[in-house]
């Protein structure tokens, strides 16, 4: 079960939405050998792509992870990220239901 409010807060920042987009189609955005080896994206790869400081990227990734939108996998000294498609689908389904309920009251 997702924390709907945590997901809304996580999606409120454009960089975090970008991360979810990049992770949805990583072959398009990342060609680093680490991606090919692990089929997920490292924090360093996201940092390089973003142009933000490492600490800023780390904070954004933590918020996405706390909201359940991404999964983190530690491999040696690196952390690799992938989307949590189940949580994203659950959030999208709930949004559709909530919007449909609102429509009945208009």
Percent of all residues in the chain with a pLDDT value above 70, rounded to a whole number = 86
Cα–Cα dist 51/27, whole Å: 19
Is-above-0.75 flag for pTM? Answer: yes
pLDDT tens by residue, 29-53? 887 676 666 678 999 999 999 999 9
Q: Is the pLDDT of residue 89 over 90?
A: yes
CA–CA gap between residue 39 and residue 34 (Å, rounded)? 8
List domains and CATH numbers for the chain: 4-104 (1.10.10.10)
Can you give the pLDDT at residue 102?
Answer: 59
24-28, 66-70, 85-89: least confidently modelled range: 24-28
């Amino acid at each position: 079960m997702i924390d709907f409010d945590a997901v809304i807060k996580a999606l409120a920042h454009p960089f975090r939405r970008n991360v979810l987009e990049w992770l949805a189609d990583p072959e398009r955005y990342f060609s680093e050998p680490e991606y090919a080896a692990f089929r997920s994206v490292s924090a360093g790869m996201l940092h390089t792509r973003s142009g933000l400081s490492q600490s800023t990227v780390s904070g954004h990734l933590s918020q996405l992870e706390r909201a359940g939108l991404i999964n983190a996998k530690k491999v040696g000294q690196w952390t690799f990220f992938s989307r949590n498609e189940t949580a994203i689908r659950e959030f999208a389904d709930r949004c559709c239901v909530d919007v449909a309920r609102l429509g009945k009251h208009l």
